[in-house]
């Protein structure tokens, strides 16, 4: 397995979920056990270098990678979800979208002050979701160790919103 074999496991779906968006479909990667294992191993190595105490996976495809990474790295996993999904007391952070706004939520006891958290998602586009997750972590006096993604849409410059943190990604798309 290598990066071009990984890239071959990502399927482009034009005009989904709306016209003009090319959706990066990771389901072929999930269906390829060697490819998925390799992806998790590569990300695990990069994340470990930042010495996190725990991982934070973002709903929903971030959960798939976050759970495998947490097991592989033997680290605790916390989850950040869309509003209204978590059953216990929550904390939340709103962020701006191109049109409108959105919110990420975590359980109130998810982040311990001073602990280091690695944020994990399948893909960084504008960076808004990851930046809001970082703000939520920091609102609890916890530390963002790094942000890690399988895919980076470089042409959307999401990395600029995460300038204060190390950002790791395996596949870069520039158009």
Residues that bind ligand AMP (CB under 6 A): 21-24, 58, 61-62, 121-129, 158
Nearer to ligand AMP, 27 or 141 (CB): 27
Which ranges constitute the DSSP H helices of the chain?
A: 3-8, 27-30, 33-48, 61-73, 128-139
DSSP 8-state assignment for residue 78: E
Would you tell me the crossing angle of helices 61-73 and 33-48 to the nearest 10 degrees? 70
We find the least distance from the C-beta atom of residue 16 to ligand AMP, in angstroms, to be: 8
We find the least distance from the C-beta atom of residue 76 to ligand AMP, in angstroms, to be: 21
The answer to whether the beta carbons of residues 58 and 129 sit under 8 Å apart is yes
C-alpha–C-alpha distance, residues 151 and 89, integer Å: 32
Nearer to ligand AMP, 35 or 127 (CB): 127
Nearer to ligand AMP, 16 or 141 (CB): 16
We find the least distance from the C-beta atom of residue 128 to ligand AMP, in angstroms, to be: 4
Nearer to ligand AMP, 112 or 135 (CB): 135
């Amino acid at each position: 397995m290598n990066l071009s074999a990984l890239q071959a496991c990502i399927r482009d779906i034009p005009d989904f979920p709306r016209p003009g968006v090319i959706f990066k479909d990771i389901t072929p990667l999930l269906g390829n056990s060697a490819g998925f294992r390799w992806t998790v191993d590569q990300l695990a190595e990069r994340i470990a270098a930042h010495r996190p105490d725990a991982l934070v996976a973002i709903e929903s495809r971030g959960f798939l990678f976050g759970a495998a990474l947490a097991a592989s790295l033997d680290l605790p996993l916390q989850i950040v979800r869309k509003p209204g999904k978590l059953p216990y007391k929550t904390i939340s952070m709103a962020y701006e979208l191109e049109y409108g706004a959105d919110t990420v939520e975590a359980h109130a006891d998810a982040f311990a002050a001073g602990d280091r958290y690695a944020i994990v998602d399948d893909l960084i586009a504008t960076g808004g979701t990851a930046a809001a997750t970082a703000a939520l972590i920091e609102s609890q006096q916890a530390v963002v160790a790094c942000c890690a993604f399988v895919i980076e849409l470089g042409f959307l410059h999401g990395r600029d919103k995460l300038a204060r943190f190390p950002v790791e990604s395996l596949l870069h798309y520039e158009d």
